[in-house]
């Protein structure tokens, strides 16, 4: 049964915004007293919260699908819809949030840090909010936009002061069980620990955490064995303790060879930018299992060479508990010194980035097509406006045309050579396709039409009074010309007849 998970993919869907309402207030003696449609509620967000009480991503391994609440629809009498319920997902300290491509979105390393990973959709405006001195009674409302939907990857990197590194079965789990209250699974088996174990150690007045991470083998930096699953758990540690097995019976292994392999793998692992490389951090050697006579002799043999390399060496035994006190106080001294240095270093001021509007909120891309060029409009604003438009309502479509014209889309299409009837797409592959008609970019606020209609979209070919009058005069002039021709022919025939008689 899985008991520890440090990497999981979440499938998220934020709440959808509620639609705005189209309503007209009705009072006694005032059958049409003005619009009073309320706004739709915003969709619920999905928020990640760094919680020190959470130590694993196991709950999200079993339930990776999470959804926010949808916003309520607007109602008459200026009643807005209820906002969708936001959900908070507690994650362990040290959780790195990435998108499916591997780009880091946020690193949750401080308790209480919050990150809106999936923002909810916007609620649509009701016709009361859309009313203006020029558009006094809108017959349409805006629709709610869908919330963010997609996948994110949560990757846990253990936050501990000290990391125990070494080959499998070197005694790391026994060591953390001996110096702390942690109780990892310990047995004489040839395979490694499958997940990190955290323990709290008290040495004098210093309290620090120790991480027993999965065992390291040759080639781990390139992904062999647990590989990166192990190495990412030592990224945040202050000090490293090399636990070397002095009682191993495996051929070709000895403490010096094991240490060289471990150092090579730590050197090959690239730490994130801004962090200290693993080999430049304080390192301590723990020669384990010296309760075995042969192991004691081997420890005495290799200790001078290790000290000559500049390491502090401790001979320990988790069975007899010899050397554990000295090791604990040495680690406490390193941790206390590091904490004092951090406290003396002023923390950088957290910069709050408030994005400003771009110089151009859209772009138009010309694509080749079988029946002519296709003009694709891309941008957050046009896409959001299309999502808010009810295409069954002519007035709403006219309002969309006005918004696009004010944004400068019409001018950009003209500049790129678009002609009336050209194919225009707003959005990506699933965007809205329509035939562009520049005549739609007139001022809708100055037009009078029944609610829910737009005269610019009226395709009625009925002639106006002036056109009928002009056509009538053309027919009368044609008839007069025909009568004059007939009269001229009659007079000519009569003149010929008189000449014949003479």
Q: Which domains does the chain have, with CATH numbers?
A: 1-156 (2.70.210.12), 162-344 (3.40.50.300), 363-457 (3.30.300.350)
pLDDT at 225 (0 to 100) = 41
19 is in an annotated binding site: no
Q: At what angle do helices 380-387 and 394-407 cross, to 10 degrees?
A: 170
195 is in an annotated binding site: yes
Which of 244, 262, 246, 242 lies closest to 301, judged by CA? 246
167 is in an annotated binding site: yes
Question: The tokens of 373 are what?
Answer: 């060029």
pLDDT at 455 (0 to 100) = 60
212 is in an annotated binding site: yes
Question: The tokens of 243 are what?
Answer: 């636990």
Low-confidence residues in the chain, pLDDT < 70 = 1-4, 181-196, 214-231, 274, 347-360, 369, 439-462, 502
345 is in an annotated binding site: no
Which backbone phi and psi does 207 adopt, to 5 degrees? -115, 130
Work out whether the CA dihedral 446, 447, 453, 454 comes out positive or negative.
negative
pLDDT at 323 (0 to 100) = 87
| Three-state secondary-structure class, residue 280 | helix
6 is in an annotated binding site: no
419 is in an annotated binding site: no
193 is in an annotated binding site: yes
406 is in an annotated binding site: no
172 is in an annotated binding site: yes
221 is in an annotated binding site: no
194 is in an annotated binding site: yes
166 is in an annotated binding site: yes
Beta bridge partners of 241: 164, 284
β-bridge pairing 87-91 and 104-108: unpaired
What are the residue ranges of helices labelled H in 345-408? 380-387, 394-407
213 is in an annotated binding site: yes
Q: Give the containing element (helix H, strand E) for 354.
A: none
452 is in an annotated binding site: no
Angstrom distance (rounded) from CA 211 to CA 233: 8
291 is in an annotated binding site: yes
Question: The tokens of 337 are what?
Answer: 């010194």
Residues 6+ apart with CB under 8 A from 27: 33
Return the C-alpha torsion angle 109, 110, 111, 114, nearest 10.
-80
Length of the chain: 502
pLDDT at 444 (0 to 100) = 46
121 is in an annotated binding site: no
42 is in an annotated binding site: no
- Cα distances (Å, whole numbers) of residue 106 to 8, 102, 114: 15, 12, 10
425 is in an annotated binding site: no
173 is in an annotated binding site: yes
């Amino acid at each position: 049964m899985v008991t520890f998970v440090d990497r999981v993919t979440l499938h998220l869907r934020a709440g959808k915004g509620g639609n705005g309402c189209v309503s007209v207030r009705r009072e006694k003696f005032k059958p049409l007293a003005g619009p009073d449609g309320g706004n739709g509620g915003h969709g619920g967000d999905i928020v990640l919260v760094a919680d020190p009480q959470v130590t694993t991503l196991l709950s999200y391994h079993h339930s990776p699908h999470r959804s926010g609440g949808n916003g309520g629809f607007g109602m008459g009498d200026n009643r807005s819809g209820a906002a969708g319920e936001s959900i908070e997902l507690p994650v362990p300290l040290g959780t790195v949030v990435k998108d499916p491509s591997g780009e880091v979105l946020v690193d949750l390393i401080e308790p209480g840090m919050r990150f809106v990973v999936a923002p909810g959709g916007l609620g649509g405006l009701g016709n009361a909010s859309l009313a203006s001195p020029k558009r006094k009674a809108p017959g349409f409302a805006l629709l709610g936009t869908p919330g963010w939907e997609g996948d994110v990857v949560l990757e846990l990197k253990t936050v501990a002061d000290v990391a125990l590194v070494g080959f499998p079965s070197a005694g790391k789990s026994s060591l953390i069980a001996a110096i702390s209250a942690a109780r990892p699974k310990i047995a004489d088996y040839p395979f490694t620990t499958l997940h990190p174990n955290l323990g709290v150690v008290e040495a004098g007045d210093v309290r620090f955490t120790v991480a027993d991470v999965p065992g390291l083998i040759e080639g781990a930096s390139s992904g062999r064995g647990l590989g990166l699953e192990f190495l990412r758990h030592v990224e945040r540690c202050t000090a490293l303790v090399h636990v070397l097995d002095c009682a191993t019976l495996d051929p070709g292994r000895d403490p010096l060879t094991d240490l060289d392999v471990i150092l090579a793998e730590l050197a090959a692992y690239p730490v994130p930018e801004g962090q200290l490389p693993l080999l430049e951090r304080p390192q301590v050697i723990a020669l384990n299992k010296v309760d075995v006579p042969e192991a004691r002799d081997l420890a005495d043999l290799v200790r001078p060479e290790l000290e000559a390399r500049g390491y502090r060496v401790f001979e320990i035994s988790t069975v007899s508990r010899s050397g554990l006190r000295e090791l604990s106080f040495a680690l406490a001294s390193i941790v206390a010194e590091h904490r004092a240095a951090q406290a003396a270093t002023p923390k950088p001021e957290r910069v709050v980035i408030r994005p400003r509007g771009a110089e151009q909120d859209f772009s138009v891309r010309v694509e080749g097509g079988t029946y002519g060029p296709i003009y694709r409009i891309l941008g957050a604003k046009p896409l959001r406006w299309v999502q808010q438009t009810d295409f069954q309502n002519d007035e709403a479509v006219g309002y969309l045309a006005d918004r696009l014209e004010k944004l400068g889309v019409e001018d950009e299409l003209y500049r790129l050579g678009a002609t009336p009837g050209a194919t225009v797409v707003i959005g990506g592959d699933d965007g809205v396709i329509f035939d562009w008609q520049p005549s739609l970019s007139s001022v809708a606020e100055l037009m009078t039409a029944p609610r829910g209609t737009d005269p610019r979209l009226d395709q009625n070919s009925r002639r106006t009074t002036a056109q009928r009058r002009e056509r009538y005069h053309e027919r009368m002039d044609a008839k007069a010309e025909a009568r004059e021709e007939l009269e001229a022919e009659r007079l000519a025939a009569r003149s010929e007849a008189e000449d014949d008689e003479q």
